[in-house]
Amino acid sequence: MPTTYIAEPAKLLEASKLVADELNLPARGRLRSRMVIGRREWLALPEFGIDMLTAKVDTGAYTSSLNAIDAQIYDNGGEQWVSFKTVSHHGQVIACEAPLVSRKKIKSSTGVGKNRLVIKTAVTLPGGFRWEVLFSLADRSVMKCPLLLGRRALSGYFVVDTQSSHLFGNSIYFSGKSHHHSL
């Protein structure tokens, strides 16, 4: 069973130093307080009941993106919410709802800008590290990874090992314990 590192504001730096020591990260500068993440990782979206998705870690993208189809904005007691469908790693179509955080024009990898809906939800790595991430909703059904983690979601927590994948675990097991950190 992998070690679970606490991600609470007061304890995050100390826990990250322990991870850095275990992984023998360089001792100087800001790298010392970051965890190493691979170019692809398993993630869970617990607020949507999704136990695992493959995420592509992309430092070239500022914004993270989640596969979403049939996105609709609706009024929920005076607040704008978004309903959409996504697909779990197991191929199950999952109906999701979340408050609309914003609408943002985002350039795709082809350089074409499109207006997208943005939501915020918790993301959990195997081992229990949990944090809040802003996702633009886009149809990523033709992509290998239904979820893309951009620089904004990685910043302050991780350095990326571009030659490795699934550094937090290859199994589908997600610990029942999680420690939440909010930006």
pLDDT value at position 177? 43
Q: What is the pLDDT of residues 43-75, one digit of tens each?
A: 999 999 998 899 999 998 999 999 999 999 999
Which of 20, 16, 57, 4 is CA-nearest to residue 156?
16
Beta-bridged to residue 179, according to DSSP, are 129
- Which domain does 120 fall in, by range? 37-167
- For residue 9, being part of any structural domain is answered with no
CA separation for the pair 104, 118 (Å, rounded)? 7
Instruction: Count up the domains in the chain and report the number.
Output: 1
pLDDT at 91 over 50: yes
Which of 100, 63, 97, 69 is CA-nearest to residue 83?
97
In the structure encoding, which two tokens stand for residue 114, read together? 């499109």
Which of 136, 166, 177 is CA-nearest to residue 57?
166
- For residue 121, being part of any structural domain is answered with yes
Q: Name the percent of the chain in helix, strand, coil, to the closest 5.
A: 15, 45, 40
- For residue 109, being part of any structural domain is answered with yes
Q: What is the CATH number of the domain that holds 80?
A: 2.40.70.10
- For residue 74, being part of any structural domain is answered with yes
CA separation for the pair 169, 173 (Å, rounded)? 8
The whole-model pTM stands at 0.75
